[in-house]
A and B are shown apart, each in its own frame.
Chain A
């Protein structure tokens, strides 16, 4: 069973569209994250939720909106997609955190905006 899963794995879309990426973890963790990895492999945290409460909200455009319906799920909705949004988006989870906790990463969603 996959611990942290993301759907879809690949997403190709046109500029201006709205898209969502889903993430689910079956580890029983309290905390979930979204990261963006750019073409140079630079990895930056976007959001973190603990028990459905937003605890980290980095400086990202407000076109990005996370939603956590329960502590096992954290979805990312992106409005009005731009070329610069092309990247790999990783979901992760940790037991608590982030602090000193190990984060478990999903396989990534490769987003290409044309």
Chain B
């Protein structure tokens, strides 16, 4: 069964600083990988996803992530944090049709002025 770990339940950065949120997964087959963001009292919204092809994936709001198979990682980055980036970020793994879809435990990002 697949699983997802996110290092750091809470990450704080200063406005304008680099954002790095870590995600590692375990899966017996090549997975589909996702990052979702959840703003307070809202549902989740997709930031970006990796299915096949280019391992560097660009998403909305200036975020990107790189799939590294050898490291079983899919870390999320943004060069310059903005106050509006403060939210909960979830990494997720999907396998094939009818297979489970697993979310990581989430990382809360705080952006300090």
Contacts and interface: CB of A to CB of B under 8 A. Distances in A.
Contacts of A103: 44, 46, 101
A44 B97 contact: no
A100 B100 contact: no
Interface residues of B, number: 26
A42 to B, nearest CB: 6
Interface of A: 4, 33, 40-45, 48, 50, 55-56, 58, 90, 92, 96-108
Contact of B43 (A50, A96, A99, A106): A106
A42 B6 CA distance: 12
Given A42-B105, A45-B101, A105 B95 contact: no
B105 A41 contact: yes
Contacts of A55: 97-98
B73 to A, nearest CB: 18
B113 interface: no
Interface of B: 32, 34, 38, 41-46, 49, 51, 88, 90, 94-103, 105-106, 108
Nearest to B38: A41
Given A92-B43, A100-B32, A102-B46, 18 more contacts: A42-B103, A42-B105, A43-B44, A43-B103, A45-B100, A48-B101, A50-B97, A55-B97, A56-B98, A56-B100, A97-B101, A98-B97, A99-B94, A99-B95, A100-B51, A101-B94, A102-B49, A103-B101
Contacts of A97: 94, 97, 101
A105 B45 contact: yes
A107 B42 contact: yes
Contact of A42 (B32, B49, B100, B106): B106
Contacts of B44: 43, 90, 92, 103, 105
A98 B43 contact: no
A56 B101 CA distance: 9
A98 B42 contact: no
Nearest to B103: A43
